[in-house]
Amino acid sequence: MSDLDEQEKLVLDSVARFLERHVRPVASKLEHEDAYPHEIVARMKEMGLFGAIIPQELGGLGLRPSTYARIIELISEEWMSVSGILNSHLIMARIVDKMGTPEQRQRFLPQFATGELRGGLALTEPDCGTDLQAIRTVARRDGDDYIINGTKTWISNGIEGSCFALLVKTNPAAEPRHHGMAMFIAEKGPGFTVSRKLEKLGYKGIDSAELVFTDYRIPANRLIGGVEGKGLACAIAGLELGRVNVAARGVGVAKRALDEAVRYSQQRKTFGKFIHEHQAIALKLADMAVRVEAARLLTEKAARALDRGDRSDYEAGMAKLFATEAAVENSLEAMRIHGGYGYSKEFVVERLYRDAPLLVIGEGTNEIQRLVIAKRLIEKNPI
Ligand SMILES: Cc1cc2nc3c(=O)[nH]c(=O)nc-3n(C[C@H](O)[C@H](O)[C@H](O)COP(=O)(O)OP(=O)(O)OC[C@H]3O[C@@H](n4cnc5c(N)ncnc54)[C@H](O)[C@@H]3O)c2cc1C
């Protein structure tokens, strides 16, 4: 990326050094143990990464989304779970930045930027994920407070985090349904409990949890934007960044799978030749490389639209769809190229293969991305 300014170059260089020194040596061990990477998080705090896209005047690094996407790609090449610790936290920060009142921005964004107050996004419930307007968590006004009851599930950073952008219904009977939705900045406290840690195929090390709200009392000044009815708009504001995040993770995973395959194919010999000299393997490598390049270009295009503040659902949908499918395909191909070793925990490709499928589900499933793309296609091309 040629248009990076000096500060952005410095940040990317320091992220690359940090990954090489502090993440690569420990990623496989921590992932296999499903252990939260406390030391890595402490270093990311020192580097200011929890404030990556928070404006500088509020204590953040003020990076453009396209630069942030490059950081996420680099991190995901090493260990995708680490990107998740940042991603959902910064989605929450973006929602407060774009939709919060001036007081909420002043109060929370500096604390988010240092990483002292960390957390994520709480949308999904046991009975609904894609159909967000079907949520059942309810906030009822009580004087200067609201009282919240309900359950959220699959919440990233749910155990280690302490603050969440929480989607609720203030009027479950409203029609259209989103008029009765709101989002709160909810800090842990009485009535807000973690009921369980969820066990997963991959994406280990980062905590995914079920959160339960039982008569959880929250001051009305934590209602994002200060008025009811904006909950879905808040979620959409966050997911704009989320889709680019996930696309960038896809690029990182697909790239690492390619790198591992390119290296291994020059080490392993069968029938007297390195395996890359067999045309069947060479064709796979070529397809994998094309996927990485195309995924990166689409992701960069979507991130640039966010940089400009343009509507980006079409571009972000394409980037998310293509890059995450690229991660799934490349991780499987890397495993095949590694033969039996690809199935071994001693090689990184088995982790890539377990991590990649999450990407086609999170931040709007790929089925939904296709529907978004098709809808915009028709809107853009009326007859
Ligand atoms: C590891 C992990 C971390 C997560 N982190 C978070 C988090 O931090 N915060 C959070 O809020 N959520 C989080 N989620 C939840 C995630 O966002 C949801 O799982 C996702 O949105 C899908 O919702 P669902 O699981 O309820 O699937 P459903 O909505 O039940 O969908 C099931 C299937 O039906 C398809 N489908 C649904 N509706 C349609 C339609 N209209 N047309 C076509 N196909 C359709 C879907 O594409 C999918 O294939 C996480 C999930 C995982 C696994």
pLDDT tens, 48-63?
999 999 999 999 999 9
* 7: confidence class by pLDDT, cuts 50, 70, 90: confident
Ligand 1 atom closest to Cα of residue 124: 11
pLDDT number for residue 3: 76
Distance (Å, whole) CA 210 – CA 324: 25
What is the rounded distance in angstroms from the CA atom of residue 66 to the CA atom of residue 129?
Answer: 27
369 Cα to the center of ligand 1, angstroms: 12
Q: Write down the mean pLDDT value for the chain.
A: 97
Query: What's the pLDDT band for 264 if we cut at 50, 70, 90?
Result: very high
Residue 363 is a catalytic residue: yes
Query: What's the rounded mean pLDDT across residues 31-44?
Result: 98
Across 259-285, average pLDDT: 98
Q: Which two tokens stand for residue 336?
A: 């095949």
Q: From ligand 1's centre to the CA of 124, what distance in Å?
A: 8
Which pLDDT band holds residue 244 (cuts at 50, 70, 90)?
very high
Q: Confidence band (pLDDT; 50, 70, 90) for 2?
A: low
| Pocket-testing residue among 124, 128, 181, ligand 1, by greatest number of atoms within 8 A of Cβ | 124
Has this prediction a pTM greater than 0.75?
yes
Average pLDDT rounded to a whole number, residues 344-360: 98
Q: Which of 213, 365, 368, when mutated, tests ligand 1's pocket best, judged by the most ligand atoms within 8 Å of its CB?
A: 365
Q: Which atom of ligand 1 has the smallest separation from the CA of 367? A: 47
Q: Over pLDDT 90: what percentage of the chain?
A: 98
CB 187 within 8 A of CB 128: no
Q: Looking at the predicted structure, is the pLDDT value of residue 261 above 90? A: yes
Q: Are 349 and 114 in contact (CB under 8 A)?
A: no
Mean of pLDDT values over 79-90: 97
Q: Would you give the DSSP letter of residue 146? A: E
CA–CA separation, 24 and 17 (whole Å): 10
Name the closest-CA residue to atom 32, ligand 1. 130
> Which residue minimizes the CA distance to atom 41 of ligand 1?
368
Q: Which of 8, 210, 228, 363 is catalytic?
A: 363
Ligand 1 centroid – CA 87 distance (Å):
17
Looking at the chain, the whole-number percentage of residues with pLDDT higher than 70 is 99
| DSSP SS3 for 27 | helix
Task: Ligand 1: list residues with CB < 6 Å.
Answer: 88, 120-124, 128-130, 154-156, 200, 203, 208, 358, 361-362, 365, 367-368, 371
**Using the 8-state DSSP alphabet, how is residue 21 labeled?**
I
Is 327:253 a contact under the CB 8 Å cutoff? Answer: yes
Q: Which tokens go with 8?
A: 């952005």
SS3 120: strand
105-159 pLDDT tens trace: 999 999 999 999 999 999 999 999 999 999 999 999 999 999 999 999 999 999 9
ω into 176 cis (within 30 of 0): yes
Protein residue whose Cα sits closest to atom 37 of ligand 1? 130
Question: Ligand 1 center to residue 359 CA distance, Å?
Answer: 11
Distance in Å, CA 364 to ligand 1 centroid: 6
